[in-house]
Structure 1
């Protein structure tokens, strides 16, 4: 479950690039599932023919007429039979059926944020909110992802944010600025620079470690 209720925190970029990383390096079936209902064209723009993962877009969900949390949960169980990795991009509305379904079925939390204070605070509130609920085990293995969207980001700023998250997460992964990710959604894995590819490999490894220690 990739979640942060604040818009512009990197949920879509992290979901898609992590999906590309798993698909490329682990060679397993991967699905990036857009639960937000807002990225209506994501399936077309972010799932090129040579992608190493599949995308279930908002358009696909509309066609399936999913209207309740129960229907999302039912679909997720069917998809889990075909995919080793499901990455759920929850969007910003914590009252939406898709968000509620994701919070009930997710094995792990990935909470992305940029350096903007509103995104940092929203991510922390999400971790504190989910911890007492049914997702408590996932919250304990949560991973914070700090997305650097400015090439001049200072290391001191990143470390201050990381320190705020560390009491609530298992790992903190920093994604360095990469020009190819500036567009916000479309992912071309081979166009990522070595530092960004390395950071996403670290993120994928953190997810795998959390899976093995649950």
Structure 2
């Protein structure tokens, strides 16, 4: 009889030495996909690799380039799951350093790259401008949301009070009526978080330029991490360092170690500051430091559209998002419920 092809699904022999007996009780849980499957390479997204892949109908796949692999790794970090909600407070003692712009840029990046709900809250007691950086869809403010608290039953009830950017980032505006004399308080902020934590996975809070106003107590007590924004200038850097000092001496040292410092170039041109020295100073105290370059679109002070940013700026926000997201697994249960009453 002629030779017959071996049946790949038939009995298989093992010619090597028998595996050593293990004390581990083998169960169905040991049959994991990563160990059994030969993973197909991701198709390249550009360059000669994509051309070759398309030319051969996919039969030749050179795989991702090093740059594409780095980008995929960043996206994996950004898309880590969150248990409950994660709250990020944006601080700066000095105005004009790009705090609100950074809030919108990071929030938009998270919203565009993740599938869950992301919202930015304007907690500035002095007529914040966060809502001016997204298309206006409602004149509702934080006070309107608080007033409607007893009637909120579903996500759409909250959505009626927010405006949404093209990135899917939602923004809850601060009070803009100069006739209202009562400042946004700690109690107000806690009530807002009580509502939002039910419907949003990431909550960003754009604080005022001070740290002594009432709402700041609630912001810091409920925050999972901080983003401290500075300019590449002596006065901005000193203000940022002073903020860390204040936090350390007022019972928020645990937040200092979970702070990501953003050095935002609000003006064109290179800085005369030694950026390596400045970065190293903050790295001795904080979790990470990211430099966001000057961008004409951000400098306009109007609605922010990620598609209009320079590639270097867009990349900086993606890297910043990955840095912040590295804390997601560590935050599980840190603020599961806003217990305060």
User: TM-score, normalised to structure 1's length?
Assistant: 0.88
Tell me which protein shows more helix as a share of its residues.
1
Distance 1:157 1:33, change over 3 A: same
1:19 aligned partner: 107
Matches within 5 A, 1:49-198: 50-59=166-175, 67-154=184-271, 157-184=274-301, 186-198=303-315
Distance 1:210 1:132, change over 3 A: farther
Q: 2: distance between equivalents of 1:23 and 1:160?
A: 33
C-alpha displacement of 1:149: 2.6
* Residue in structure 2 matching 1:3, options 85, 91, 101: 91
1:47 aligned partner: 134
Q: 2: distance between equivalents of 1:41 and 1:148?
A: 19
Q: For CA contacts below 8 A with separation 6 or more, give which structure has more relative contact order.
A: 1
Distance 1:51 1:66, change over 3 A: farther
Q: How many residues are treated as equivalent by the alignment?
A: 212
Q: Which runs of 5+ in 2 are unaligned?
A: 1-88, 136-163, 332-341
Distance 1:34 1:154, change over 3 A: same
CA deviation map 1:151-185 (0-9, x unaligned): 32158632232122111111001111211111245
Q: Which runs of 5+ in 1 are unaligned?
A: none
C-alpha displacement of 1:209: 0.4
Alignment RMSD? 2.4
Instruction: State the secondary structure of the residue aligned to 2:291.
Output: strand
- Flag the structure with larger Rg: 2
Q: 1: distance between equivalents of 2:290 and 2:127?
A: 25
C-alpha displacement of 1:61: 9.8
Q: 1: distance between equivalents of 2:177 and 2:261?
A: 28
CA deviation map 1:70-126 (0-9, x unaligned): 231122122111111111111112122222211111100100111122211111111
User: TM-score, normalised to structure 2's length?
Assistant: 0.57
Instruction: State the secondary structure of the residue aligned to 2:284.
Output: helix
Distance 1:112 1:199, change over 3 A: same
Matched-pair contact (CA < 8 Å) for 2:110–2:118: yes
Matched-pair contact (CA < 8 Å) for 2:125–2:184: no
Distance 1:211 1:132, change over 3 A: farther
